[in-house]
Amino acid sequence: MINKSLKQLGAMLQGKEISSVELTQEFLKRIDRLNPEINAFITLDKDKTLAQAKHADSLLAAGKGTALTGLPIGQKDIFVAKGWRTTCGSKMLETFIGPYDADIIERFDGVGAVNLGKTNMDEFAMGSSNETSYFGKVQNPWDRSRVPGGSSGGSAAAVAARLCAAATGTDTGGSIRQPASLCGLSGLKPTYGLASRFGMIAFASSLDQSGPMAKSCEDMALMMNVLTGFDKRDSTSLNREKEDYTRDLSKPLAGLKVGLPKEYFAEGLGADVAKVVHEAIAEYKKLGAEMVDISLPNTQLSIPVYYVLAPAEASSNLSRFDGVRYGHRAKEYGDLMDMYCKSRAEGFGAEVKRRILIGTYVLSAGYYDAYYLKAQQIRRLIAQDFENAFKQCDIIMGPTAPSTAFKAGEKADDPVAMYLQDIYTIAVNLAGLPGMSIPAGFAPSEDGKRLPVGLQIIGNYFDEARMLNAGHAYQQVTDWHTQMPEGIE
Amino acid sequence: MSLNSADIKRIAHLARIEVSDTEAEATLTKLTGILGLIEQMQAVDTKGIIPMSHSQDVTQRLREDVVTETNQRELFQSIAPAVEGGLYLVPKVIE
């Protein structure tokens, strides 16, 4: 049962083969057994979770159930949830109890989904390995000595270890797609503005976007139907008509033009990853897709641009943590200035401080034009690369990450090496486009473990239904997405 | 541009983060690496390119100037580090 999709579990609930309380207890038992090692969840609240499951059962009994009613979902601990401890992976918020619900939480609650717990993450979503979490690193279920990716590493490990049926994530520079790739699941970052940022603790507001992490594209389509939609409380939320993301799942792929950017297959891509991605592309050809060679010439610049814009926005967003209204306050301090400086020095971890300092520096007097303005100009060049590419193709394919999961500690002391993990994902955030990662196979590690490899699919603005169609078609002829790691039975 | 550890302490002060001399030294090495990465931008000719602040061409929405939020002071102050009589407590700032 643990390997069943949201779709299948939903059918079992509707058919009264199992109750939401029974299903939820099954996953809670698995969490009790496996989470002490994997550390995918930071906070559990079984009373709240089971109360939601009971409520879902009453909805189902009254015939008011919809696709996700009664299904246990892991919520990334970046979403504020009323009455739930919400830490964002930081000591700064170690005791913070959410006073209201994020829009995403409201939407899942609104359809009777069950919040199974808050998943681990890199501190304030800043990281690509989940090693910056104040609440400890997360193990990759495929090889416990390796990282799950980040920043949504807890959500990815939870789905991979079948501790939940699906989870939410957020993606500022690859934080849904890279962990999905490293843990062998499907993850989608929607077009910027489709999902509300209200109650999602801000990192870089012009890039942050939440999305689904699940076992299949069909499940992600069901979640997209719930988590997208206009929200007047988010000033960048887009007011568009609701879409049914399942509508095109079964369309044939014949004639689909797939762009392959030469920069995504150049130096820096691991040979083992390249091999798997090429095999996936061959499978797409069999499904009738046509491959087109394209170029995204400014790809290399996306990392420098991101490491100006994201820290700049973060330094501004994280100025709210002042030790006055909420969050950590130092025990001992002198005057007000000393209280701010000590509270923030104690509350933030090393990577978060580094990014705040970079952001403060690039925004400081005399440097704005050389850094921030320049980065925003190059951001337009990067977006134009995609605009030109989409004149030649319908969707773009390539690797999600340059390597498979790396060993814990391997890159922890080298921020620049860590940042290069996101070379294929960051440009998508800068352009505001939708991107997703789906399992495409495995590469063997030097010690003989099977490590998942993700295929990235990038779409034009608002083209998520077509991307999900492409992913679903592939998942009908392959079984990578249904394979489970060993030792989680 | 190259930074020294005095610069780090100045930037950290602007960011309201206390750093010790030892931390400033360690941070300097890491920040220098990151700024080296960022320097790649300077080789690009961006003359005449309009900066992109947002991926979609949208304008800020306006709404009626009416009260939309109710007072939830007690709820919000229940998670504050130090409050008294409905006020947030901070060290004395006016003599």
| Residue spans per domain, chain B | 5-43
Residue A85's beta-bridge partner residues?
A: A97
Distance separating the N- and C-terminal Cα atoms of chain B: 42
**What DSSP character marks residue A371?**
I
Which residues of A participate in catalysis according to the annotation?
76, 151, 175
Instruction: Give contacts of B93 with chain A, Cβ < 8 Å.
Output: 335-336
Q: What chain A residue is nearest to B43 in terms of C-alpha separation?
A: A301
Cα A1 to chain centroid distance, Å, stands at 25
Is A339 an interface residue toward B (CB < 8 Å)?
yes
Best of B16, B44, B46 to disrupt the A interface (most A CBs within 10 Å) is B16
Q: Other C-beta atoms within 10 Å of A104: how many? A: 28
Average pLDDT value for residue range A336-358: 97
Q: Say yes or no to pLDDT of A43 above 60.
A: yes
> Is A34 within the bounds of a domain?
yes
Q: Which residues contact A429 (CB under 8 A, 6 or more apart)?
A: A171, A172, A173, A174, A189, A192, A207, A209, A306
Q: Is residue A67 part of a domain?
A: yes
Please state the domain count of chain A.
Answer: 1
Query: pLDDT per residue over A117-174, tens digit each?
Result: 999 999 999 999 999 999 999 999 999 999 999 999 999 999 999 999 999 999 999 9
pLDDT tens, position by position, A204-247: 999 999 999 999 999 999 999 999 999 999 999 999 999 999 99
CB contacts under 8 A, A 422-441 vs B, are 430-433
Contacts of A338 in chain B (CB under 8 A): 18, 91
Q: Using a CB-CB distance cutoff of 8 angstroms, which residues of chain A are in contact with residue B34?
A: 307, 354, 358, 415-416, 419
DSSP state string for A175-201: TTHHHHHHHT-EEEEPPTTSS--TTBP
CATH topology of domain B5-43: Histone, subunit A (1.10.20)
**Percentage of chain A surpassing pLDDT 70?**
100
Q: What percent of chain B has pLDDT over 90?
A: 79
Give residue-wise pLDDT tens across range A263-313: 999 999 999 999 999 999 999 999 999 999 999 999 999 999 999 999 999
Token pair 């007000």 is at which residue?
A: A336
Instruction: Read off the pLDDT of each residue in A327-346 and give the average, rounded to a whole number.
Output: 97
Q: Read off the CATH number of the domain in which A23 is found.
A: 3.90.1300.10
C-alpha span between B94 and A396 (Å, rounded): 60
Q: Quick one: average pLDDT of A359-370? A: 93
Which domain covers residue A163, as residue numbers? Answer: 6-257+391-482
Q: Is residue A341 part of a domain?
A: no
| pTM of the predicted model over 0.90 | yes
Across the interface, whether the CB atoms of A358 and B19 are under 8 A apart is answered: no
Substitution target from B46, B47, B55 for chain A, most A beta carbons within 10 A: B55
Nearest-Cα distance to chain A for B8, in Å, is: 8
Q: In this structure, are strands A166-171 and A114-119 parallel, antiparallel, or unpaired?
A: unpaired
- Tell me the pLDDT band of B1, cut-offs 50, 70 and 90: low
CA A196 to chain centre: 15
Q: State whether residue A12 sits within 8 Å of chain B by CB.
A: no
Which chain B residue lies closest to A321 (C-alpha atoms)?
Answer: B16
Residues 6+ apart with CB under 8 A from A365: none
The verdict on A341 touching B (C-beta cutoff 8 Å) is yes
Judged by CB atoms closer than 8 Å, whether chains meet at B11 and A336 is answered as no
> What is the arithmetic mean of pLDDT over B19-43?
93
Residue B61 has pLDDT above 90, yes or no: no
Cβ within 8 Å, pair A99-B11: no
